Amino acid sequence: MKKYPSAQDHLQEANLFLGKTTFLKAYPQVESLDLTVEAHPIGPDGEHRFYRYSLENPPGEFCPCPNPRCSNGGFRIGIFLGQMIFDKQTQGTSEGLCVGREKTGRDYQMCPYLFKAEATVRYKSEEP
Ligand SMILES: [Zn+2]
């Protein structure tokens, strides 16, 4: 079965926002990052999944959606991290719905997946 493209795939095609390799370049002031994202379905069916990111495994603009029927989906963690880093926060959480759509027969509906992200960021000391 062909995998549906994710929101991150579209961004990479458009060369916008954070690609996987650009996190370190975008945020050189970050010394360490610990980001966990929990994805779970709103209803009883579906897969519960955890994602873990660090500077060695940096996140993209979107965390992927575990729903195999989800098209163009994911959760936008790049904007949350960007705001956190801009404010020099060390702890932050963000919750939201998948931005994708799920094909049900001939129709589409909103993808019924919720995401919860928790981040801990440490910063390099400022230049004097
Ligand atoms: Zn989804």
For 35-79, write each residue's pLDDT tens digit.
999 999 998 888 899 999 999 888 888 999 999 989 999 999 998
Q: What is the mean pLDDT of residues 2-16?
A: 64
Centre of ligand 1 from the C-alpha of residue 99, in Å: 6
End-to-end CA, the chain: 55
Centre of ligand 1 from the C-alpha of residue 24, in Å: 27
| Most confidently modeled range among 15-19, 61-65, 114-118 | 114-118
Distances in whole angstroms, Cα of residue 90 to Cα of each of 4, 39, 47, 69, 84: 35, 22, 30, 35, 8
Centre of ligand 1 from the C-alpha of residue 29, in Å: 32
pTM: 0.80
Centre of ligand 1 from the C-alpha of residue 102, in Å: 7
